[in-house]
Structure 1
Amino acid sequence: MKNLFIPHFIYWSLFMTSKENYHKVSILLSIYKVEDYLEECLDSLLNQSYHNLEIVCVDNGSPDNCGKILQKYAKKDSRIKIVTLKENRMLCGGRNAGLDHATGDFVCFVDPDDWVEKDHIKAMVDAILTKKDSLGNPYNLVLNRNAVSFMILADGSLKKMYDFGETSGEKTLNDVNLNVREDTEVPMWGRLYRKSFLDAHPDIRFLEGMNTDNIPYTFKLLAHMKRFYVIKGEENATYWRRLITPEGAITPVVLWKNMEIPICFDNLFDYLKKHHLAKNLRIPYHWFFTICFPRHKDQPRYYLRFKELMKKMEDTVKSSDVYKQEDRNLCDLLLYAPDFFNFMERYFTPVPVRISRSRIKLFGFIPFWYIRHKERKVYYDLFKIPLFKRVKTDDKEILYLFHFLPIWTRQTDRQ
C-alpha cells in the first residue's frame, strides 16, 4: 500500500499545484424547455479541455424532462451542480440564481441549447491569466469572438448565420462608445468574468422577470472596468452557437414583441447617474431603437416608452461628448414631435437636402424677389423668372444667367 500511496500522493500534489486547480471556472446555465438539446450541451461542457469546472445548472421551473436529465448527469460527474427553482423566473432570474451558487474564480455563461468546442473555456482562461491591460493590470473580462452562429431550420438542417467579428486585443470603453457592437456582438455565453470583480459590485444583477440578459448587466460592469480583452484567431476555440428555430429564438421576442429594451435602458441610466458614470458610457438607445421600432408589434407604446426615457436622458445626451449627433437628433424627435403620427411621418421620411428660401413681395402680395439656397448653389428669381444661379465649388465660383448660361467665373481658395 505504501508503494501505491507514494505515487498517488505525488500525483495528487502535482495536481493540487497545477494552474487549473487554483482557478476554478463556474459555468452557469439557466435551463427551461430544452430537453432535446440539454444532453449534447452538457456533454460538450464535461468534455472541455479545461477540467476544473463547476457547472451550475439552474432548473428554471422547466416542465419537461430537463430535471431528470440533470439528475442523470449529476450522478455521472460531480462537477454538475443542480439548483432547482419551483417557478420559472425567466432567463434573467435563472442567471441570478446561478450567480448566487457560483464559487469559482471565474464565471461564464452557457445557454443549454448550445454546444461548445473543447477549448472554449481554456482559451478564455489562458487569456485572462496571461494578458495585462495597457496599464499593467489583469483583465476582469475576456470576450471570445471565436464563434459561429447557426440556426436549426424546420427540416433539422443547420444554416450558418454569421461569425462574431475579426477584432482582437484590448478594447476600451471608448471603443464601445464609438461602436456598441464591440460589446453587444458577443452575447453572455462568449464571456468570462473574474468573479472577484463581480463580487465587488454586488448590486449589479440581471433584471428579474426578463429575458434581456446582456443589457443592462454587461454595460454596468463595463462602466466600472473600462477595459477588456477580446480573443480571436485560429489558435483559440470556436464556440458553436445554436438557435432552436426562428420562432423559438429569444432575440425576436426581446427586440420586437415586448418593452424590455427601453426598460433596461431606463434601469441602466438610473444606475449610471447614481454612480456618477452617466457621461462616461454611451447608452446605445439610437442603435436599438433603429433596429426595433420599424419591426415592433406595438409601435405607439414603444414610441411613448422611449419618449419617457428621453425626458430623463436629454440633459446628459446633449451635454456629454460620448453621444453623437444622431443620438441628439433622435432625442429631439422623440421629445418634440407633437404626437405619434407626426413622429412616424418625420422618422420614416429621408433627411432632405438643406434648402433655405427668402422672398420679397411688392405691396405685400406680388412675388418680386425670390432666393433659394441649396447646398452650394444659390438661385435668384425676379417675378418668378429665373435670373441668376451662383455655384460655388472647392476652387471657383461661377455665375449663370437664367440659371444655365455661364457669364462670370472667379477662382477661390481651396477649402
Structure 2
Amino acid sequence: MPRFSVIVPAYKVQAYLHECLESVLEQSCPDLEIIAVDDCSPDACGAIIDEFAARDARVRPLHLPENVGLGRARNAGLGHARGDYLLFLDGDDTLTPDALRSIADRLKETSEPDVLVYDYARTFWSGEAVRNRLAGQLTEQGPAPFRLEDRPGLLTMLMVVWNKAYRRDFVERAGLTFPPGLYEDTPWTYPALMSAETIATLDRVCVHYRQRRRGSILGTPGRGHFDVFDQYDRVFAYLDAHPELAHWRPLLFRRMVDHIATVFTRRGRLPRGSRA
C-alpha cells in the first residue's frame, strides 16, 4: 500500500503529459503510485501513459472506453487508488521538486489530518511563475491540525481539488465523488473542507498550475460554463443533507456570487448571445 496515490486524468494534453508524469516519478519521496487515466483522448495520451507504465511499475494505466469528462475520469481513478493519501494532478500541470517529501513531512507533523492544503503557483509560457496571492492563508503558525471553524479564510482560496492531499479513508467515509460538467471541483472541495474533522496547511508551492494560451477547458467558450449553477446546487444540497453545517450557508452564498460573477466577466467563457 503506497503512501500516495496521485490521480492524473489525461485528455488532449499530449504536449504536457510527459513533463507531468516525470514530475511525479522524480519526486524524492518514491512511495507512490500514479493512476493515469486516459479519458479516451484522441491524441497520444494513451500511448504516453502506456510508455511510462512499461518502464515504471508505479504507473498504473487506466484506459476509459469513452470520454467521460474530467470529474468522472477522476472518479474512475479513485476506484483503483490504494494509497493512504489521495492527490490529484491535471495532465498539463506538474509537481514541484521535493513536493511529496514536504507533504509527507507535514502530514506526520500534524498527526495525519483528513485534509492537507498546500500552495501553488501559476506558470506562464514565458517561464514566469506567480504564487497564489492568498498564500497567507496557508501559514503554519498556530495549532494544527484544526477544523475549518478555526481557519475559515481557507474558503476564500481558489476551490480546486489539486492543491490538497486527502486521507483516503476520509474520502470514502464522506462519500466524496466528482459530478459531471465544468467546475466539478466545487461540489468536492467545499464539502471536503466543511466535513473534515482535521485540517492542516503547508506553506509551500507544491504544484505549478500551467496557464495555457489556448486549449484549456476554462478558456474555451461554450454553454458548458452554465454548469456552475448546477455545481452550487449540489453544494447547497450537501448543506441541506448535513444540517450541522448550516452555519456555512451565508459564506458559501457570497462565494457562489463571486464565482458566478467571475464566470460572467472573464472574456472567452460565455458564447455570444448567452450573456443575458
Q: Which moved more, 1:69-78 or 1:222-231?
A: 222-231
What code does the residue aligned with 1:158 have?
A: G
Do structure 1's residue 100 and structure 2's residue 79 form an aligned pair?
yes
- The residue number in structure 2 matching 1:217 is 188
Larger C-alpha radius of gyration, 1 or 2?
Answer: 1
- The residue number in structure 2 matching 1:113 is 92
Q: Does the 8 Å contact 2:121/2:132 carry over to 1? A: yes
Residue segments in structure 2 that go unaligned for 5+ positions in a row: none
Spell out, residue by residue over 1:372-399, the C-alpha distance to the aligned partner (whole angstroms, 9 max, x if none): xxxxxxxxxxxxxxxxxxxxxxxxxxxx
Sort the Cα spacing of 1:30 and 1:179 in 2 relative to 1 into closer, same or farther, 3 A: closer
Do structure 1's residue 274 and structure 2's residue 241 form an aligned pair?
yes
- 2: CA distance, partners of 1:62 / 1:193: 27
Do structure 1's residue 240 and structure 2's residue 212 form an aligned pair?
no
- The residue number in structure 2 matching 1:376 is none
Taking the TM superposition and a 5 Å limit, the aligned residue runs for 1:87-166 are 87-132=66-111, 138-145=112-119, 147-152=120-125, 157-164=126-133, 165-166=135-136
TM-score, reference length from structure 2: 0.85
Residue segments in structure 1 that go unaligned for 5+ positions in a row: 1-21, 133-137, 304-415
Q: Does the 8 Å contact 2:114/2:197 carry over to 1? A: no
Spell out, residue by residue over 1:222-276, the C-alpha distance to the aligned partner (whole angstroms, 9 max, x if none): 221154211115xxx643222332x322334599962121110101111210122
Taking the TM superposition and a 5 Å limit, the aligned residue runs for 1:292-307 are 292-295=263-266, 297=270
Do structure 1's residue 47 and structure 2's residue 26 form an aligned pair?
yes
- 2: CA distance, partners of 1:300 / 1:179: 36
Do structure 1's residue 195 and structure 2's residue 168 form an aligned pair?
yes
Spell out, residue by residue over 1:287-337, the C-alpha distance to the aligned partner (whole angstroms, 9 max, x if none): 21332334463699777xxxxxxxxxxxxxxxxxxxxxxxxxxxxxxxxxx
Q: Does the 8 Å contact 1:148/1:163 carry over to 2? A: yes
CA-atom RMSD in angstroms: 2.7
What code does the residue aligned with 1:74 have?
A: A
- 2: CA distance, partners of 1:238 / 1:159: 16
Sort the Cα spacing of 1:142 and 1:285 in 2 relative to 1 into closer, same or farther, 3 A: same
Q: Does the 8 Å contact 1:151/1:158 carry over to 2? A: yes
What code does the residue aligned with 2:148 have?
A: L
Taking the TM superposition and a 5 Å limit, the aligned residue runs for 1:15-414 are 24-132=3-111, 138-145=112-119, 147-152=120-125, 157-164=126-133, 165-166=135-136, 167-169=138-140, 170=144, 172-174=147-149, 177=152, 180-182=155-157, 184=158, 187-202=160-175, 204-208=176-180, 210-225=181-196, 227-233=198-204, 238-245=206-213, 247-253=214-220, 258-281=225-248, 282-283=251-252, 284-295=255-266, 297=270
Sort the Cα spacing of 1:174 and 1:220 in 2 relative to 1 into closer, same or farther, 3 A: same
Deviation at 1:54, TM superposition (A): 0.9
Sort the Cα spacing of 1:294 and 1:113 in 2 relative to 1 into closer, same or farther, 3 A: closer
Q: Does the 8 Å contact 1:56/1:80 carry over to 2? A: yes
Deviation at 1:100, TM superposition (A): 0.8
Q: Identify, as 1 or 2, the structure richer in strand.
A: 1
3-state SS, counterpart of residue 162 of structure 2: helix
3-state SS, counterpart of residue 218 of structure 2: helix
- 1: CA distance, partners of 2:96 / 2:273: 44
